[in-house]
Amino acid sequence: MRGNKLRWIALGLALFAYTVAGLSHISFDVDILKLLPTGLPEVKGLSLFLKQQPNELIITIENPVADDAEADASLLADELAKHPDLVKRAIARAPWEKNPAGLSELLACLVLNEPPEKIRELVARIAPGQAEKTLQDTLEKLSESLSPQEIAMRSYDPFDLAEPLAGAGVMSGAQTSEFSSADGTFRALYVEAPKHFRNYK
């Protein structure tokens, strides 16, 4: 009887030891990104985004009709903006789409971050001794160009000051952006919280 009891105690202790050993190998890390393959550039980008923007949330919307997806995103952004206790701001499209003057701030930022040789080229184009020749070259290009976009842009920007915008893809006319997929059926909203998040939830 006593031997039986000792056997059950030994079995219980062994089971307890195995359970503790098993639990020690379980990770209770709440960082969701660590569950994803860390080698993927998308995961690295998202990790960097969350590190730099810890109070932002990305909401995605998918609709088979592109116009409906855009309307849904705008509607949701407007609805979220009505709750300042929950949302500091909700952005469903690039700011300059509603207010083209906002491009000036982006352009200034892009110019300041251009390589030194590009800035030298820009300064050379608008230098007092070169400005007249630059204008003549632009007129010649306009008379020969068959591109409606180039004609429209060069007519308003003869010195090609907006070249960094084209380089960044802002003026390319492509549908793909940080707010939309190429076909427009997938949209993203960027929502900023009014206070710091305590954790991932």
Predicted local confidence at residue 174, as pLDDT: 47
CA–CA gap between residue 56 and residue 89 (Å, rounded): 10
Q: Which residue in the block uniquely carries the two structure tokens 């062994």? A: 14
**Domain residue limits, the chain:** 99-174
State the pTM of this model: 0.49
> Residues 28-87: pLDDT tens digits?
555 666 777 778 887 787 777 667 666 788 889 999 998 999 899 999 999 998 988 888
Average pLDDT over residues 82-97: 82
Chain-centroid distance, C-alpha 176: 12
Asked if 60 contacts 188 with a C-beta cutoff of 8 angstroms, the reply is yes
DSSP H helical segments within 82-130, as ranges? 95-98, 103-112, 116-126
CA–CA gap between residue 78 and residue 195 (Å, rounded): 20
Per the model's pLDDT, the better-predicted residue between 69 and 179 turns out to be: 69
pLDDT grade, residue 126 (50/70/90)?
confident
Number of H helices, E strands in the chain: 9, 3
Residues 6+ apart with CB under 8 A from 150: 141, 142
Burial class (CB in 10 A: 0-12, 13-18, 19+), 9: exposed
Cα atoms in the Cβ-side hemisphere of radius 13 Å centred on 99: 6
Encoding tokens for residue 80? Answer: 């979220």
Asked if 72 contacts 189 with a C-beta cutoff of 8 angstroms, the reply is no
Average pLDDT over residues 98-106: 71
Would you say residue 119 has pLDDT above 60? yes
